[in-house]
Every structure is written in structure tokens, then in C-alpha cells.
């Protein structure tokens, strides 16, 4: 469904979603901040969806229910993933394409490689794919009791920048906020995604019927010595802003493969073995 | 858990997974092809996981069961996502880091923007993150009854190339095979991800209790006029090979944001409102 874009005639229309679920403190804080900037509609999962990545719901139907959880804000809970929420909001709920989609404030970091696993970022990415300026916000503190003061202010200020300047085509922002007080906060840095990964170990247990099961556990390892990465920024009291793209092509590798691989032989070989 | 890499002393160790589930014809075909190239272990989802993207299972435990589905191949089904399968295989099943991870053969295309939603590609991406050369294979035909002859040959030949040459660090391959006969096949092209997206519409229905529910439907729209994209290749009888990276940073946008945005004002503002 193609929807009209705003002609700048009214207040900005802002879609708010998350992956911690519609009852999380982070989405309440983000919604309140966005109400200062425009007309807000919330469409968020009805249960926690952390780690859902860019999952979509294909094999089962989706439910959508209005909820009265936010003061003066039209809000819905959805049985699907964060990406489903954005798709449903655009197709079924919003009166026009929104001027901004914000996702979060996530309870826990989505810096470096976590961007890959994050439902928060995937929701923002889905919005960007649909042509909507989009931002994912995450706080480096997993607790639902975390102090959201600084995260609120950073979210408000970055959202203002995006509403004012827009974003380049096919780009969204991954914003992480350090776990420091506003007084300790050093500022905002534009960064690249750090080279890091999780070293997993599965905890093996035995159920009451004697069958094994496994819990994912892991240790985050940062291999990146650079001071221009998001990990560096967060460790040094800065909020990190990483411009993210969904063109996953490693363009610099195309020429390498084309010249080093023998691909001419493939079709003949495939035919020869017929 | 850190595992030893092969010193080249033995046959290559190849991990096979997919997102259509361990009983799909595509993974059987891929497993048989890989048995010609090395020692194979299969770890795949116990149910279809299409559209799971890079989802991981955090909030529930995982089950892992040996299955006797493949001739002379150690195989397991896992209750989790494709990414969970790779993580579990590396930590709990494989005797050492594999020399190759192949995912597929997916029943349905993972070209262009589909790379984002694909469990097949996410499994390969997870392997790449763990330092394992990895390839996702998909056939442009959603039917489980599809003719896999050409897909088998292309998979075999690309896997041989990767075993021989390796892959650049942090890179995996997204290989799509066109829906043509081996005789019509034009060859293999190294490509970039096409600029395309799904235009969604949700089908709205009413359940027997009078409550609405929604099914995701959509129309794929290719906006890309280039002849160097994966969509072009597939439409013209070629298999497409896109080198894929999981550094999602839009590096070219960092300088733009740094010079166009007023970020110096942010920390003072944040402090001022304390």
C-alpha cells in the first residue's frame, strides 16, 4: 500500500515501537519524549521479543489490539515481531507514512555485533526499507529499573536532528546511550560498528524426565582497538550514533572474487555432467 | 569455547544447516553434495524457520536430538532458529571448528532485500561471525517438489571454490540459483544486492469468535535497473553470488553526519536541563 508523505502541513507523525514489549519502561519514556515533537502512534509487541533479529511472521496470523497504556497516545499491541509491528502499522494503522520511526529505548546495548541480533534495530531497519527516517535507541543497562534520564534526553535530541535534517536514503541510525549519569555524559559521537563478537557457551542441564536441554550464555569480546568505534564511545562516556545500511553487499569483494575465482568453467561443467 | 582449526591434515569438516527444517529436500540434496567434498555434520531446525532472520533463542532453553535421516551422516535436529543451530553445533557437537558451513538449499529466493529476512543467510552469517567460511544457497522455487539438479551442481562447485580459495575475513556468500534447467543455465555471476523491497498488504480476516487477525502478504518490487545486481542475474538465467558483510556501518555517511549535524550542543543541553 502506497501512502502519501506529509507535505509539512502538520505536526510530524511519529511511529514508536520496540522489542522489549509494549509494557517496558523504555517505550514509555520514548513515547513521552516523542510527544514533545509530534503526533505519536505506538505499535509494539505484546511480549518481549529480544533477540528476534529481522524475523517476520509468515506461518501464523497476527493479532493487533488497541491498548490504553499511554497518556493521550493511540497505541496497539501486536502478537508478532518488531518488524511485523512496523509493517502492520504502515499498512493498517497509520493515516499516512510517518515522518519518523523510533524503536526503543531498548533495555540493553545494541552496539557492535549486537546490531545483527537486535529486534530494536530490525524494526528501525524495516522502517528505513519502507522509506521512513528511522532510529533505534538502546541503553547500556539491561534492567527495567534503569535510570532513563540521559537516554530520554539523547533520544529527544537525536530525533530532533533527524526531523530537521532527514537521513540519507537507505540509512537508519543505531544510537546507544552509555550507562552514566547526565553529569558524567561526554556527548554524542558518530561512530562505526566495532569488530566484536559473542563467545558462546551453552549451559547444559537435565530436565525432570532425564532429557538434556541447553541455555545460551556467552561472553562479549571486543577485538577492536580503534577509538572511532561505538564500543570505544560507550566505554568513554559518549553516546554512539552508527549510520546503518541494509545493503549487505561487500562491494570491495566483488572485484576480488571476479578475478580470483574460475567461474567460466562452472556452466560448462554443470552441463557436462548432465 | 575456542576450538582448534584444521591443520589441513584431514578431509574438510563441513557443517550443513538450513531454515526449512531438517526434513526439507533442499538440505538432503546439499548434504549429499557436501559428502563428496568432506566429512559432514548436519545440525538443522526441527521445524520450518523461514523468515526468522538473525533471531536467537534467549528466553527459552534449546533441545537437540540426534536424527537418522541422512545416509552415513551424523545429524541433529534443534528446537531453535538457524542461528541457534550454528551456535550449538560449534559449542556442543563439532570436534573442531569446521572448514566450511553451508546453509540451504533454501526453497525460495534469498536475493536482494530477502537477505535481511532470511534464516538461511543468517545461519551462514553466524558461521562467518565465528570465523568459518560460509555460504547460503537458495533456489528461486518455493516448492518442496522443485528440481534440485542445477542447485546441487552449483552448490557443489561454489563450495569447492570456497574450500580451495577461502573467503576474505568477515565475508560470507549469498548464492541464489535460477529456476531454469541445467541446459538453459548461463553460468555464475558475482553480483551486488539489488535495490528492491516488498510492498506489503495484510489480508484481514475474522476468526470464529469475531476477532480480527492478519496474514502477511506482499508483492516484490525491484527498483534496480542495473545489470550487475542479483535480480538481473537470476532473471537472465545466471546463478548470483553476492559477497555479504555483517559490518552494517554506512561508512560513507559518517563524515556527512559529523559535518552536517550540530552535536557539540548536545551534551551541554543535556546538562543544562538537569
- DSSP letter for each residue of A93-155: I-SS--SEEEEEEEES---TTHHHH-HHHHHHHHHHHTT--EEEEEES---TT---HHHHHHH
Instruction: Decide: helix, strand or coil at residue A239.
Output: strand
Q: What value does the mean pLDDT take over residues A116-124? A: 93
d(CA B234, CA B9): 38
pLDDT tens digits, residue range B26-75?
A: 999 999 999 999 999 999 999 988 777 778 888 889 999 999 999 999 99
Rounded Cα–Cα distance for residues B1 and A267 (Å): 41
B86-141 pLDDT tens trace: 999 999 999 999 999 999 999 999 999 999 989 999 999 999 999 999 999 999 99
DSSP SS3 for B190 = strand
Whether the bond between B93 and the residue before it is cis, its omega within 30 degrees of 0, is no
| Least-confidence region, from A189-203, A254-268, B117-131, B260-274 | B260-274
Q: What average pLDDT score do residues A96-121 get?
A: 95
Query: In a mutagenesis test of the B interface, which of A267, A269, A274 is the best target, namely the one with the most B β-carbons within 10 Å?
Result: A267
State the Cα–Cα distance between residues A89 and A95, nearest whole angstrom. Answer: 9
d(C-alpha B18, C-alpha B50), whole Å: 9
Q: Is the pLDDT of residue A255 over 70?
A: yes
Chain A residues within 8 A of B92 when measuring between CB atoms: 202, 204, 214
**C-beta atoms of B92 and A215 within 8 A:** no
Q: CA-to-CA distance for B85 and B80, rounded, in angstroms? A: 7
- How is residue B270 written as a grid cell? 543535556
Structure-model confidence comparison of residues A78 and B274, the more confident one: A78
Whole-complex ipTM: 0.89
Residue A266 confidence class, pLDDT cut points 50, 70, 90? low
Question: Of all helices (H) and strands (E), which one includes residue A267?
Answer: helix A265-272
Cross-chain Cβ contact A249/B200 below 8 Å: no
Q: Which helix (H) or strand (E) holds B83?
A: helix B82-88
B1–A270 C-beta distance less than 8 A: no
In this predicted structure, the answer to whether residue A81 has a pLDDT above a threshold of 70 is yes
Four-way CATH pick for B13-194+226-248: 3.40.1210.10, 3.90.1150.10, 3.40.630.10, 3.40.50.1370: 3.40.1210.10
How confident is the model at residue B155, as a pLDDT? Answer: 97
pLDDT of residue A137 exceeding 70, the answer is yes
Q: How confident is the model at residue B8 (pLDDT cuts 50, 70, 90)?
A: low
Retrieve residue B204's grid coordinates: 484481514
Asked if B126 and B87 count as a contact pair (C-beta separation under 8 A), the reply is yes
Interface contact flag, B117 A55, Cβ < 8 Å: yes
Q: What is the mean pLDDT of residues B194-212?
A: 90
Instruction: Single out the residue of A96, A97, A178, A168 nearest to residue A137, CA to CA.
Output: A178
Q: Looking at residue A115, what is its pLDDT?
A: 93
C-alpha to C-alpha distance for A60 and A40, rounded to whole angstroms: 28
The CB density around residue B116, as the number of other CB atoms within 10 Å, is 24
What Cα–Cα distance (Å) separates residue B188 from each residue in A270, B12, B177, B185, B240?
11, 24, 9, 9, 6
Whether the pLDDT of residue A200 is over 50: the answer is yes
Q: Which residue in B has a C-alpha nearest to residue A3's C-alpha? A: B199
Distance CA A260, CA A9 (A): 55
Q: With 70 as the cut, is the pLDDT of residue B270 above it?
A: no
Is the distance from CB of A243 to CB of B253 less than 8 angstroms? yes
> What is the predicted pLDDT for the residue at A2?
46
Mean pLDDT computed over every residue of chain B: 90
- What is the distance in angstroms between the CA of the first residue and the CA of the last residue of chain A? 45
Quote the cell numbers at residue B224.
Answer: 534496480
Q: Which residues of B touch A54 (CB under 8 A)?
A: 53-54, 116-117
In this prediction, residues B269-274 reach a mean pLDDT of 39
Q: Could you read off the pLDDT of B223-242 as tens digits, one per residue?
A: 999 999 999 999 999 999 99
Question: Which stretch of A24-28, A40-44, A259-263, B59-63 has the lowest confidence by average pLDDT?
Answer: A259-263
Across chain A, mean pLDDT equals: 91
Contact yes or no for A215 and B241 at CB 8 A: no
- What pLDDT is recorded for position A5? 55
The mean pLDDT of A233-256, rounded to a whole number, is 96
Q: Distance between CA atoms of B55 and B42, rounded to whole angstroms?
A: 20
User: Looking at the partner chain, which of A59, A241, A258 has a beta carbon nearest the beta carbon of B48?
Assistant: A59
Whose CA is closest to B172, among B248, B90, B95, B100? B100
Interface probe with A: pick from B65, B207, B214, B244, most Cβ of A within 10 Å: B214
Structural domain boundaries in chain B: 13-194+226-248
Are A122 and B53 inside 8 Å of each other by CB? yes
Mean pLDDT for A126-146 is: 95
> Which residues touch B42 (CB under 8 Å, ≥6 apart)?
B15, B16, B17, B22, B27, B31, B69, B70, B73, B74, B75, B76
**What is the C-alpha radius of gyration for chain B, rounded to an integer number of angstroms?**
21
Pick the CATH number of A13-195+226-272 from 3.50.40.10, 3.40.1210.10, 3.40.50.2000, 3.10.440.10: 3.40.1210.10
A186–B61 C-beta distance less than 8 A: no
Q: How confident is the model at residue B9 (pLDDT cuts 50, 70, 90)?
A: low
Residues linked to residue B15 through DSSP beta bridges, in sequence order: B41, B101
Averaged pLDDT for residues B194-221:
90
Residue A43 · residue A85 · CB < 8 Å: yes
B268 pLDDT more than 50: no
Place of cell 557443517: B15
Using alpha carbons only, what angle is made at residue B202 by residues B199 and B204, rounded to the nearest 5 degrees? 160
Q: Which residue in B31, B27, B24, B18 sits closest to B84, CA to CA?
A: B18
The candidate with the shortest Cα–Cα distance to A30, out of A21, A46, A39, A18, is A18
Residues A159-194: pLDDT tens digits? 999 999 999 999 999 999 999 999 999 999 999 999
Cell of B77: 535436529
Contact status, residue A7 vs residue A98, Cβ threshold 8 Å? no
**Judging by beta carbons within 10 Å of its beta carbon (0-12, 13-18, 19+), is residue A165 exposed, middle or buried?**
middle
Amino acid at each position: 500500500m502506497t501512502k502519501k508523505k506529509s507535505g509539512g502541513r502538520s505536526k510530524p507523525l511519529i511511529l514508536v515501537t520496540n522489542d522489549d514489549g509494549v509494557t517496558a519502561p523504555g517505550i514509555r519514556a520514548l513515547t513521552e519524549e516523542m510527544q514533545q515533537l509530534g503526533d505519536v502512534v505506538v505499535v509494539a509487541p505484546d511480549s518481549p521479543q529480544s533477540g528476534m533479529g529481522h524475523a517476520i511472521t509468515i506461518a501464523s496470523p497476527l493479532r493487533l489490539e488497541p491498548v490504553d497504556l499511554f497518556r493521550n497516545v493511540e497505541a496497539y499491541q501486536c502478537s508478532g515481531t518488531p518488524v511485523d509491528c512496523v509493517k502492520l502499522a504502515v499498512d493498517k494503522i497509520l493515516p499516512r507514512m510517518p515522518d519518523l520511526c523510533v524503536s526503543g529505548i531498548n533495555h540493553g546495548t545494541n552496539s557492535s555485533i549486537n546490531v545483527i541480533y537486535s529486534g530494536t534495530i530490525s524494526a528501525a531497519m524495516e522502517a528505513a526499507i519502507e522509506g521512513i527516517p528511522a532510529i533505534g535507541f538502546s541503553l547500556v543497562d539491561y534492567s527495567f529499573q534503569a535510570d532513563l534520564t540521559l537516554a530520554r534526553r539523547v533520544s529527544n535530541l537525536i530525533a530532533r536532528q533527524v526531523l530537521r535534517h532527514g537521513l540519507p536514503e537507505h540509512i537508519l541510525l543505531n544510537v546507544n546511550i552509555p550507562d552514566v549519569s547526565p553529569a558524567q555524559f561526554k556527548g554524542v559521537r558518530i561512530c562505526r560498528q566495532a569488530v566484536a563478537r559473542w563467545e558462546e557457551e551453552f549451559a547444559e542441564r537435565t530436565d525432570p524426565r532425564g532429557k538434556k536441554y541447553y541455555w545460551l550464555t556467552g561472553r562479549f569480546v571486543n577485538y577492536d582497538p580503534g577509538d572511532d568505534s561505538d564500543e570505544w564511545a560507550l566505554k568513554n562516556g559518549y553516546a554512539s550514533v552508527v549510520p546503518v545500511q541494509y545493503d549487505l553487499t561487500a562491494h570491495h569483494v566483488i572485484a576480488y572474487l571476479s578475478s580470483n575465482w574460475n567461474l567460466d568453467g562452472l556452466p560448462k561443467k554443470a552441463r557436462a555432467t548432465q
